Structure 1
Amino acid sequence: MASSSPPWQALPAFARAFRAVVFCLLIVSAPCAGASAAEESLRAKRDTAVLLARDGDFKEATRQLAQLLEANPTATGVRADLLVVLQWAGRSADAIDTAAGLDPAKLADFELLAWARALRAERRATEALSLLRPRLADPGRTPDAHALYALLLSDLGRSADAAAYIEPWIARSPGSAELAAAAAFVFRGAGRPMDALAVAQNALQIDPDHRELRRQQVFALSDLAAAHLANDMAMAAPGLFDDAELALLAGNMAGQRLRWARVYPEASPERLELIDTATATLEVLASVPDASAAHLRGRFDLVVAYRMRDRMAETIHEYDALLDAGIEAPVYVRHAAADAHLAMRNAGQAAQLYRDILRDRPRMSSARLGLIYARIESEWFGGPLWVADDLSATSPAFIGVAGTNQHVANWPRLDADLSGAMLQAYDRRLEDAQRRLETLSADAPASAQIRRQLSTVYRWRGWPERALAEIEIAQAYEPEIIAGRQELAAVLSDLGRHAEADRVIENLHAEFPDNAAVNRQRTAWRDRDRWSMSVDAEYGDSDGFTGFGSYDRTVSTRVAAPVIAHRWQPYGLHAWRDARYPEGTAREQRIGAGLSWRHQRRHGYVELHGNAADSTGAGVTAGYDWHRDDHWSFATRAESDSLDAPLRARPGDLTGWKVEGAARWQAHESFSLRGGLTRLALSDGNVRWSTLVGMQHRLHANAGRLTTGSAELYASRASREGGLYFNPASDLAAGYAVTHERLGWRRYEQSFSQRFVLGLGGYWQEDFGASPTGFLRYEHEWRLGRRWRVTYGTGFASRVYDGDRETRIDGRLSFEGIF
């Protein structure tokens, strides 16, 4: 309990009057006692100095008393007066030095209290207790002694003992403001701010101008979550609090605003205003160098405020500044820093911080979940899923409210269930994740959080329309949640509603420019405003059958312009191919431009192209494809000068018109069927009809591996036989291939993976019978970031045409980039 005013001013008026009377009686009674003139003179000088001190002139008072003591070194009364005045003046160390040689038993109460207060001011509470304790046995002692004794107990960390000691004295001395002020201080230290406020307010009714009571009233209000009122009262009383105490009250008010902010929805204006106001206050407090506990707590709260406002880089910077200063942060500050590292994709640092937290709080659910996601981002899935399942299994779904028969949802348990479901989804166990989330949603249909994650899983399963139904319900419940708005934008994008997705994304970024997740989504979305290019190159060497040539090479390039008005995208294309045949080398080069249109999962395009090199001519390509729902999609395409026309006959100006249609049914991400019909009419009069049906299904999937099986059945028939090119009258091919993809490493958008493909089948050709076929492929894929990808690989194939077996070895290289 400290005061910014001189201690003598805190004495009650009746005590000061009592001392004045005592001094006067001493002066009047001196002649009656037969005192000498020298003693009378000394007493008068002492009284003069003490009166100067009472008037606030401590410097002159101490000077005069020091001179008197120097002239009368054995005068204990002078020494005691100097002790009291020095303590009033705040010169505690000098007061203690002056008290040396005094006998505590012979001192008046107010002199002994001054000595004890000086010891307390110098943090020598144990000595002060020893000095004060003998006087407390006398029941007639002033309540101030009991008040000081309780304060000393509190200073020694014995707050409960202090409160128990002072409580009965409040009832015995209801008119003692000093005792009430001490009790308020002690009760606050014992965690009883309500009792502190009650004591202070009751005593203020008797002495409304008592400084320490007013101060304790304000501090108690601040402790009782009325920090705003407390701060206003402090600002309205200049001089009642020093700068450090004003900073403490302002920090309490900022901390309370942060706690209030948690009550409001994540992105609500009320929450953001509270956080921003608190942050502004804490930034001012943190900018002032100070070593006090209040200043340090303000710095801790500033880290949390930055985290709550999604200012992750600043969160990490402030936390690192604490570490650089050798300050050990409490758990809640380390948790904020861990969350920030996770958001900034520093998974290693985040995991270390979460582990440190769990060493202090082993059952802290939010830290356990944070560690789960940090490990996921480090590409470790099995362990975190076990942790989430254990957390769910060991936590009740509902918890009781103390003192009532009511039960409320156990939110950490829900977080664990949701984390477990999303871990399954990240591990490509989407069916399990869907089942888990649908069960949760059935139990809590009004939970927007469950519906948001269910929407994500539906979207990943290839069902954007189903996802839209879920996220719209979730947004109706919680329209301001950032994650919900991001999921809505993702669903709208998958549905081809790009203008709507753009509005959601841009509005989010305007409202939360510092949010790392919002920025990442917007940056990826704005790739639509950039140019993109893809290049595919292949070289093959064949032996045996010569109908398809040997030493064949192809290069295809496509350059796309930025998207215009969310629907239109111009692009250019280039195709070059050649191959060696018995009669010589044939080659073709095509250059063209096109315009693509996309809206609501409908896609139309038209291309104009011309041929160069050894072939001439121009052509048009047009196509249209669409989705009927989450399962059915269709595509059509027409080419006036198709690249499917055999290259071997291109030098003779062979061309071909191609028309095709296809349909696809997708149950989910793990199973789909497709079929197509093609008509290729060549300029030599030959018309080939072909059909293809296929099936694809997942055989095994987890976060690092994906094995897929695919079966195809192909058949074709030509209207005429013969010709320079391979032209079977009819044929039939069937095959089954297994593709295994293995993730080598990944760090967010950067990754390296390998792909193995093995295919076996058979081929039947009219007049030549059936023969086995097969192929192998091995590829590497490097994702150099979100915008760049390189794939290369080699393959071996063995097939039979016109009864001749052909073996072919090839190499492929492809590149995709956005710039």
Structure 2
Amino acid sequence: HFPKDYPLQRDYAIVTAWSDDCKLALKRFKKIQNSSKHKPYIITLMGECMVKQGRYKDALSFLDKSQKRYPNYSGLRHLRQKALIEEASRTSSGTEIKNYTQYNESDQGFPEWLVLTEASFQVSKRNRFFSQYIISRSSDDAFKAGEQDRLAIGWRYQYSPHLFLEQSVSKDVKENGLGGSLSRIRYNPSDTWNFEFMHDTYSLDIPIRAKASNVEAKQTTFSMTYDVDESWYGYVTVNRYRFSDTNIRESLYGEYGILLLKKTDLEHRLSVEVYSSRNSLTGAPYFNPIKDKSLSLTYKLDLHFRSSRFDKHSDQFSISLGQYDQKGFATRGRWGLYYGQDYKISNRFHFSYGLGYGRNVYDGQLESEKKFEMKFVLRL
């Protein structure tokens, strides 16, 4: 009755959804689904019903159209992410293979490779077991002793929708055979806040020069993210490293970003990054400033392409300008360029890569730096 009475049909669908009958609610909502009068609350409610009913394609199409009308409403963005995750979990057996490969020029321009491969298997709705193999290589024979072939096994547990736990153990399978343990806790009390704590007894985040000198480190990290919506975000991370040569390193990194302009096929973003660190040991055989700090400004351009061949295709270009100050040396300027592509081939395969080039500073001297990274996710 009264199919053209929008308020009546809307309220009819809402009350039915509130009674936990999503199937009937969506049937009633269908009469007005293409209306331009929907407010975010009705879009969210009906979108959640579509996800609950397993109608992921319908939900994504409905949310994509709605986001064009409400681009700054974070609830629609988070619901869309939920729909994508649910769709991926239903269309996958729970087995995933991930790979991250990075080429970088370390301090003083020595090329290094890092390859991390992970295979994981979801044994229940909340439990996932994984194994990792990590390889690091240096092009300089003087640092061959710092290369690694590390095997790790671990477990991830979703205690609640807001709390995630991870525990793993690792060991170098070739040279020193040293073991390590990594513990991680991630807490998301809301859509805007994210907190993470991590402790690793054998940190991978130290120079290969240190490892080549038989120096290891324990790492403790705390990070916090505040993401209001796509318009702006803030991120802070604090690290503390306890090196086996008695050095204590403490570092702080902060980032604040804003969305300058967003359209269907492009996004312009601007971010400010600050960094500071201090070390307790002088004369270490690796890059180890007593104190240093940096300030950078980065512009990012994201281009989104529509293609019948891919579920998603986007390109990213960024340029950064800043300055670096190291105690005992003059303050120097530095810059960086980056270009990358991101492809979501299907719900089962995601691939991306990026190329970077810039100018960095090492003990007051300018040096060029090249970077390449690639990653993929395959769901079986």
Common fold by TM > 0.5: yes
Q: Please, which of 60, 68, 82 is the counterpart of residue 427 of structure 1?
A: 68
Q: Does 1:551 align with 2:121?
A: no
**Bigger-Rg structure (1/2):** 1
Alpha-carbon displacement from aligned partner over 1:3-47 (angstroms, at most 9, x marks no partner): xxxxxxxxxxxxxxxxxxxxxxxxxxxxxxxxxxxxxxxxxxxxx
CA distance in 2, matches of 1:627, 1:419: 26
TM alignment of 1:340-489, pairs within 5 A: 415-418=35-38, 425-427=66-68, 429-431=70-72, 434=73, 458-460=75-77, 462=78
Distance 1:628 1:540, change over 3 A: closer
Please say if residues 424 and 430 of structure 1, whose CA atoms lie closer than 8 Å, have aligned partners that are also in contact.
no
1: CA distance, partners of 2:299 / 2:333: 17
Q: Secondary structure at the match of 2:37?
A: helix
| Shift, 1:741, TM fit | 1.2
SS for the counterpart of 2:250 is strand
Counterpart of 2:153 (choices 589, 593, 601) is 593
Note the residue ranges of structure 1 that are not aligned, 5 or more in a row. Answer: 1-263, 274-307, 309-338, 340-365, 367-410, 435-456, 465-489, 495-519
The alpha carbon displacement at 1:753 in A equals: 1.9
| Distance across 2 between alignment mates of 1:759 and 1:660 | 25
Task: Give the C-alpha shift of residue 686 in structure 1.
Answer: 0.2
- Post-superposition CA distance 1:712-734 (Å, at most 9, x none): 11100001111110000000011
Partner of 1:663: 224
User: Shift of residue 736 of structure 1?
Assistant: 1.5
Check if 1:616 corresponds to 2:236. no
The verdict on how the C-alpha distance between 1:702 and 1:537 changes in structure 2, with shifts beyond 3 A counting, is same
Query: Which structure is higher in strand share?
Result: 2
Deviations 1:495-545 (A, max 9, x none): xxxxxxxxxxxxxxxxxxxxxxxxx99753324642111111122357xx5
Distance 1:791 1:522, change over 3 A: closer
- What is the rounded CA distance, in whole Å, between the counterparts of 1:744 and 1:664 in structure 2? 29
- Closer, same or farther in 2 for the Cα pair 1:630/1:811, shift >3 Å? closer
Q: Is the 8 A contact 2:199 2:219 kept in 1?
A: yes
Partner secondary structure for residue 35 of structure 2: helix
Q: CA RMSD in A?
A: 3.3
Change (3 A) 1:608 1:630: same
Higher relative helix content? 1
Distance 1:789 1:726 in 2: 35
C-alpha distance 736-697 of structure 1, shift in aligned 2 (>3 A) = same
Task: Measure the CA separation in 2 of the matches of 1:522 and 1:630.
Answer: 17
Cα displacement (A) at 1:429: 4.5
CA distance in 2: counterparts of 1:710 and 1:602, whole angstroms: 29
Deviation at 1:775, TM superposition (A): 0.7
2:319–2:338: 8 Å Cα contact kept in structure 1? yes
Match of 2:100 in 1: 536
Which residue of structure 2 aligns with residue 714 of structure 1?
Answer: 275
Q: TM-score, normalised by structure 1?
A: 0.38
* Alpha-carbon shift at residue 416 of structure 1 (Å): 2.5
Alpha-carbon displacement from aligned partner over 1:251-289 (angstroms, at most 9, x marks no partner): xxxxxxxxxxxxx97999xxx99xxxxxxxxxxxxxxxx
> 1:419 offset after TM fit, Å?
9.2
Q: Against the structure 1 CA distance between its residues 521 and 716, is the aligned structure 2 distance closer, same or farther, given a 3 Å change threshold?
A: closer
Q: C-alpha displacement at 1:581, in angstroms?
A: 3.8
Q: CA deviation at 1:708?
A: 2.0
Residue 139 of structure 2 aligns to a residue whose secondary structure is: strand
* Secondary structure of the corresponding residue to residue 583 of structure 1: helix
* Superposition TM-score, scaled by structure 2 size: 0.79
Aligned length: 338
Match of 1:561 in 2: 121
> How has the CA–CA distance of structure 1 residues 584 and 654 changed in structure 2, closer, same or farther, with 3 Å as cutoff?
closer
* Structure 2 residue matching 1:608: 3-state secondary structure: strand
**CA-to-partner distance for each residue in 1:385-418, whole Å, 9 max, x for gaps?**
xxxxxxxxxxxxxxxxxxxxxxxxxx69x92223
Corresponding residue for 2:138? 579
Match of 1:791 in 2: 352
Distance 2:86 2:289 in 1: 53
Structure 2 vs 1, CA of residues 753 and 630 (structure 1 numbering), >3 Å: closer, same or farther? closer
* AA matched with 1:746: S
Alpha-carbon distance in structure 2 between the residues aligned to 1:522 and 1:660: 30
Q: Which runs of 5 or more structure 2 residues have no equivalent in the other structure?
A: 1-11, 44-62
- CA distance in structure 2 between the partners assigned to 1:423 and 1:528 by the alignment: 23
Distance 2:141 2:356 in 1: 24
Residues 673, 695 of structure 1: 8 Å contact kept: yes
Q: 1:674 to 1:792 in 2, by over 3 A?
A: closer
Residue from 87, 90, 97 that aligns with 1:526:
90
Determine if contact 1:608/1:621 at 8 Å carries over to the other structure: yes
Aligned match for 1:731, one of 276, 281, 292: 292
Instruction: State how far apart, in whole Å, the 1-side matches of 2:64 and 2:125 are.
Output: 34
CA distance in 2, matches of 1:787, 1:762: 42
Secondary structure of the residue aligned to 1:649 is helix
SS at match of 1:560: strand
Alpha-carbon deviation of 1:610?
0.4
